[in-house]
Structure 1
């Protein structure tokens, strides 16, 4: 993070109140190192996030020591991470949501559980660098002219694609094939997936230039039955309950501890990073 990289320990170490947990100091250099993992608009905000994360970590490690826990270190984690994982298994329950809760969530969020909308589209790309304003203005004007031609002669799309398009799809009459959301750049997707079948009367602008688009087919997404998404819903709700349980657990530890120099915030999100 450029904001943090440009600041040395000597520049900042004396600017913040010392942080400690039950008398155990959180080293300021460690906080500064942790700041690189917490994006923020200001140094102060990044410091707050980093210090909070380290306080949560220290609370967990102190509790693990109090319980005399031991942990097997798994691949990709260190001893401290293994202890925290073991502590959470021991002290934070992860109840599975019941069927009624899953069904309620399904009924309240049915728009999330559909097959993807599919489209078949063809385009003529008039390429223009996003930094070349003159080229983009020319491409926009050229697009209007080609659209006017297509309105009069819709069957000329393939020939015009071969003549003008800067996309390799011109070799197949401009056809992009079947598309679903997530397969094209966002600015193109936002506009094309709103279209109904037929020729768009205005060019679609993207980072690549201007697209003359014809929507050849549109198949709306269909609702999925509950039994096809029940496991996904159960996993999601279980994760949400677990996150809340962690937040409550950390709040309990913090309430029983003597923490100086900071008020920890967003403990659950910090821990899950």
Structure 2
């Protein structure tokens, strides 16, 4: 991406180097062949960061980088922004009435984790290899068609076709819970009823899977007293995020910015 194709980012008279926006671009998705969208998103993010840093320095704040991991510390800019938000964004902890109201909206949301007993047939491939991906999909579709005619042959077909070691057990993976498998596989599990098989092959980073839900145990509903601290934390975080957005919106409203599109904030 050629930075010179895009306008200079100027925040309250401060010209932001193109290199800062270019470094930020990698953090923003955009359709293939449309780098301008990623650049605009990056420019917006850098503009907001610049406004926050300007405000922190206007207030005379001094950076005290905190340790964020073993041997890893914040940058001075990260520390300044954190300190600024700590000083300016304050919310009250939610009261018992608000917490109970949130729980009462749908108590069934708060459950122990589900348990899935699962079998699968894997056609392994590297999804980044178009040829291998196409061949694996063709194999998976062929097996899926056989299953539609003879659903009782799942274990036999797994033993014959699967590229997973579970083929020795008819494709059985045993009991799984949230986080036990890759997100793509888990997403498919969450959409299956007991004894249901996926209607089309499911692509994960390992290849194409045909998945059968052998047994399903939904998590038990948790009582209010158990989830009260979790709800309180979630409500406080949501309130803090809203207050932080309001603070940033006020900075934007009082700023002069060119080269970014912050009007909707």
TM-score (norm. length: structure 1): 0.73
Alpha-carbon separation, structure 2, partners of 1:211 and 1:195: 14
- Matching of residue 240 in structure 1 with residue 229 in structure 2: no
* 1:8 partnered with 2:2: yes
Tell me the distance in 2 between the aligned counterparts of 1:85 and 1:106. 31
Aligned partner of 2:128 in structure 1 is none
Shift of 1:139: 2.5
Q: CA deviation at 1:249?
A: 0.6
User: Is the alpha carbon distance of 1:165 and 1:213 closer, same or farther for their aligned partners in structure 2, counting shifts above 3 Å?
Assistant: farther
Distance 1:103 1:67, change over 3 A: same
Deviation of 1:83 after TM superposition, in Å, equals: 1.1
Asked whether the equivalents of residues 19 and 261 of structure 1 are also in contact (C-alpha less than 8 Å), the reply is yes
Verify: 1:147 aligned to 2:139, yes or no: no
Match of 2:251 among 246, 250, 253: 253
| 1:70 to 1:191, Cα distance in 2 relative to 1, 3 A | closer
Q: Which deviations, in whole Å up to 9, do the C-alpha atoms of 1:163-202 show, x marking residues without a partner?
A: 63634334446543222355456468636863335xx588
Counterpart of 2:134 in structure 1 is 131
The equivalent residue for 1:194 is 192
- In the alignment, which residue of structure 1 is the partner of 2:43? 51
Q: Which runs of 5+ in 1 are unaligned?
A: 1-6, 151-156, 268-273
SS of the aligned residue for 1:37 comes to: coil
Larger radius of gyration: 1
| Equivalent pair of 1:191/1:204 in contact (CA under 8 Å) | no
Q: Does 1:74 align with 2:66?
A: yes
Which among 16, 26, 31 is matched to residue 21 of structure 2? 31
Deviations, residues 113-142 of structure 1 (Å, cap 9, x unaligned): 11233233456x375765226534542354
Shift of the 34–137 alpha-carbon distance from structure 1 to 2, 3 Å rule, reads closer
Distance verdict in 2 for CA 1:192–1:122, change over 3 Å: farther
Deviation at 1:97, TM superposition (A): 1.5
- Any unmatched runs of 5+ in structure 2? 68-72, 126-132
How many residues align? The count is 245
Equivalence for 1:94: 91
What is the distance in 2 between the residues matched to 1:48 and 1:203? 40
Answering whether residue 114 of structure 2 is matched by residue 112 of structure 1, we say no
Aligned-pair Cα RMSD in Å: 3.3
Q: Distance in 1 between matches of 2:223 and 2:39?
A: 47
Q: Matches of 1:101 and 1:85 in 2, distance apart?
A: 28
